[in-house]
Structure formats: structure tokens, C-alpha cells
Structure 1
Amino acid sequence: MRTLALDIGNTAVKYGCFEGDLLSETAVAASIETISSLVERVRPEHIIISSVAAEVAGWAQQWQQHVKGRVLEFKPATTSLPIRNAYATPHTLGADRLAAAVAAAWFGPAHDTLIIDAGTAIKCDLVEAGHTFRGGSIAPGLRLRFEALHTFTGRLPLVARPTDVDAAVTLIGDDTQAAIRSGVLNGAVAEINGFIAEYRLRYPDLRIVLAGGDAGFFQPRLKGRIFVIPELVLIGLHRILVHNVEN
């Protein structure tokens, strides 16, 4: 079965083409408008669309003309799932968080798993016993933290995070830019390590899965064994689509 998973986020449109359960192609599209040519080239049997930003009902109707099977718009509150969703307000739950949870449950059935999705926001979410999404926390991502300091103060400069993920981040900044980098980057690392420590007190056999655009920065700086799965959300979307097609 050939499927196409579309993850429309706040800053990018990501897609994944699957042959069975194999992710055969993935990339970031220039815009949602460019996906139509991808659909014509790949010719998937089924498509799933997830969006935390744009409305996609119109696009789903358009792509349905080129697809023999289903074009599924993923809605966390109503779409059938292969796991239990214990979130108190599923209508407010971000589709990317729930898709990542489905993928984590598929990779680690029967395991308690903490998902750290480090992108525009840093989300830490728990999948309990490999079958129940419990929820977690949402905090600003690295770029948002740098931008907030610049936007909401009078004189602090806009500082970009290092593009080299292995770059050393000094603890004691000896100028303003270095002090901002220390506060944002070291602070975010300490924050996530603190979450990991607290979760491990409650779930001693906890597995940690790391994803998101800033995963490369965090991976060598987090404590304990970390599984890095960059395409976690796309894999989860694919599993949700398969579940709905087969059931």
C-alpha cells in the first residue's frame, strides 16, 4: 500500500511517502500549494493530512480527485486511533502531538515512553504502557525564546542559535549575546533534563524518544539513553491512516 502523510506545521509543510511501512521519501515542501504536483507524481492510494496551522478541507477535496482510496483529514477529537487518548480536551490537542504518540506506541508497545518534540515549541508528552496518551507539557522552542527576548525588551539583540549542533555553549556569557545564548540554550537543556528526571521517578523503565527540528542540538546534551526518530510525526500519521483504512 502506498500512502502519503502530510504534516502542515507552523513553519513548514513536511511530507512522507510510504511503501507499506517503509518511509521511502521525505522532505519539506515549499508550500501546501506545491503538494498537488507531488500527489500526481507519487500517486498514493491513500493520503492523510494533519495541520496545526491552515484549514485543509479544500485541499483534501482537490486531492481526492487524484486518489483511489481515502484522503483523511486527521482531527484528534474525532479520528479513530490505534491507541487510547486520555487527554481531557481532545478538541484542543495538537495533531502533531497525538501523531507522535501513536508512532511512539508503535515503536515501543507495552513501554512507558516520554516524547520530546523540539521544534517551534518544545513538547514533552507521555505514552503510558504503550497504549495510552496522557498529555504532558508545552514550552517555547529555541527560536521563540530568542525572538521573545528581542521583541519584548527595549535593547536586547536578536541572537540566532548556533547552526553547528556541536558548538560549545558557555555557562558564563562575557558579553550580552553570549549571555543570551547561555540563558536560552543552557536553560532549555536544563529544563528538559529536569522533566526527564521527574518522569523517571514515576516511570523507572521509561524510554525517551527525541524528535523535531532541534533534536540534533539536544541529543548530546540530554541525560540517559535517547532514541532519536526525526520523522516521528510522519510515521505516526501513517499508522493512523493505516488503522483507519483497515478498520
Structure 2
Amino acid sequence: MNIVIDSGNTYSKAGWFENEKLLRYTTGLSFDELIRTIREEQPEHILFSSVSYTEAEFIEALQMPVRVHSLSPQTPLPISKCYDTPETLGADRIAACAGANFLFPDEDILVIDMGTCITYDLIDSSAAFQGGLISPGVRMRFKAMHSFTKRLPMIDPETVSELVGKSTRTAMLSGVMNGTLAEIEGIIQMYRHKFPELRVVICGGDITFFESSLKPPIFAVPELVLIGLNRILTYNVSLQ
């Protein structure tokens, strides 16, 4: 069994795989909870991807005789990187594209990851990561309006259907949520103009607000990053 870990600034997400099959996953784990959970499972291989802890810190805390791989700019990948600054490329972006390429090989794919930021990344039919664009996520947009004005409230995102807001709150909701939807659809159309057979795959915590509103065909794969991390892990194990 493999365990792959996507560790953020506050919490971690872990996925359990048997070969390429995702058995289950857990989110919202503190670092201590993550360590306890792994000790209970006794995996064969681990891939650790973190913005908060180093591989050495993780291994020291784990205290287990298991091979730990980490995701870094030097980690061998099952896809190539056509990117001017590969050392600055976020692990989530490359993992999501590795996952998309594994699920839909030999296709041009636009991967949209809706998290703190919204990332749009292209992996082409030759399995080359071509780059993309980064845009503010919905919570960042709400926070910016609240922080840079004196009277606009801080509100949380929610699914909206009304275009014309009848109050400050609903106008802000429409601006952020409908504006983000228009952005996503517009960028998809620009990419499809260049790649007519483009497949669009979306993931990330905020896809629930937009999944039903996006024009098909759109493929929602919520655990795409974990799938990609496991693909990177199995690729590295195969090189041993």
C-alpha cells in the first residue's frame, strides 16, 4: 500500500492507494494526527509533499522503516516540464497535471484547480506541462474587497443564481461568483480555440460552487492532486 501526503500550511491531506487505485483519503489532519495515522497503517511507500515541513523533519517524526519519497523540483516525473522557472512551480500544479495525464493519456488537457488561487494549467498530448495562469480564488476576492474598502463586509462564498444583486452583500456575491464563472468559461474558450479537442478537468475545494454551472463537457475529479502524487510515487518506485 502507498500513502501520498499533500501537506499545507495548516492541515494535511492523505490518500491511501493500492497500486493505482485510490482506496480512501482523509483531509484536515494536523501534523501530529498525520504521523499517528501513518504509523497505524504501515505503508510500503510514502510520497511526502509539503510547504511547511522538510523531508528530514517528516522522517524524524515518523520513526518508521519505510521508504519516503519527497516531491521537489528535482524529483523524476512521468511528465516533462516546459516551464521557464521549474524551481518555482508549485507541487499541486504539477501533481494535478500528472494526475490528469494518467487519467486521460495522449490528450490535450486544461487542468483547473480551484483553491486559494485558481490555477489553469495545460498539459499537452505529448505529456508535456506547458504552464498556464494563476488567478485569485473566490475567498481572496472577497477578502480583497473587504480589506481595501472601508464599508464592504467580509462574506463567505456561496452558490448564486441571481445576476443582479439587490443589496451590497448580494451584489458582492454576484460580482465574485458570477465574475469567477465568467472568467473560467472565457479562459476555457480561449484554450479551446487553440486546442479544439481540449479536455477540461477541474479539482479543488471550491469546485462545488461552479460544477453545475459550467458548460459541459467538464470533468470534475476532486482528488486529482492525490491521484497525481500517487502516479509520481509509482513512477519513482519503478525507477529503483
TM-score interval w.r.t. the shorter chain?
over 0.9
TM-superposition CA deviations, 1:188-222 (whole Å, max 9, x none): 00001000000000000000101000111111111
Counterpart Cα distance in 2 of 1:228 and 1:130: 22
- Specify which of 102, 110, 114 is matched with residue 110 of structure 2: 114
**Cα distance, 1:29–1:58 mapped onto 2, change above 3 Å:** farther
1:41 aligns with 2:37: no
Return the offset for 1:67.
3.6
Task: List gaps (5 residues or longer) in structure 2.
Answer: none
Q: TM-score normalised to the size of structure 2?
A: 0.95
Paired residues for 1:52-131 under 5 Å: 53-62=51-60, 65-68=63-66, 70-75=67-72, 77-131=73-127
May I ask how many residue pairs the two structures share in their alignment?
A: 239
Counterpart Cα distance in 2 of 1:231 and 1:67: 28
Counterpart Cα distance in 1 of 2:85 and 2:41: 36
Residue aligning to 1:221: 213
Counterpart Cα distance in 1 of 2:98 and 2:172: 36
Report the aligned-residue RMSD. 1.4
Counterpart Cα distance in 2 of 1:171 and 1:12: 35
Identity across the alignment (%): 43
Show structure 1 runs of 4+ deviating over 4 A.
Answer: none
CA contact (8 A) 1:10 1:120 kept: no
Return the offset for 1:58.
3.3
Counterpart Cα distance in 2 of 1:87 and 1:55: 25
Counterpart Cα distance in 2 of 1:63 and 1:22: 27
CA contact (8 A) 2:119 2:133 kept: yes
1:235 aligns with 2:227: yes
1:159 aligns with 2:170: no
Return the offset for 1:11.
5.3
CA contact (8 A) 2:202 2:222 kept: yes
